[in-house]
Structure 1
């Protein structure tokens, strides 16, 4: 049986792993707990954010596919802070009903980064 979604993985150009480590450290205000050339891991409120070097032939920028969505307390503030760090806005914070706010961005390395402020899921407002 499933327990929970535990890990969000982001593919990073190998030559930009140090830059990505710094960017995600600033974006989430936390240092990695694990760092090797093949993987950099962050513990975000008990969930894993992992940075992996891109495989040979892997697209440099994500254009389709899944998007990890991170629960935040204040979506407007977090969205603005990520833009200031160099993220690209795909969708400004918007109300999708039931007091749920969402936004979509791309990190400077071409990966999707979603945000959600959801009062109905207590763990997304930690």
Structure 2
């Protein structure tokens, strides 16, 4: 089951320049500011900057569908023909992510937050 698209992550090459641009666009300070990830929350949306995204196979922004069971959702997508690019991994605070490429080359991200 999905709770919809709530997160988008951009692969970036220059984290400093990307932070300046997205800070100006969103008008907020990041809630997470680490060398491996910068995250913003604005207008009910999470926007992330990943300086390692290109190395992971990200060719552009990846929309992340929030799901209740990331393992079974990932398995269902792979069974339906998606190519796994990043297996499930924890990214902090119990949050887990994964992403795949569909048959048309589109990237589909999955995100599961820890139980409340």
Q: Which structure is higher in RCO with an 8 Å CA cutoff and minimum separation 6?
A: 2
Structure whose residues are more often strand by fraction: 2
Instruction: With the length of structure 2 as denominator, give the TM-score of the two structures.
Output: 0.48
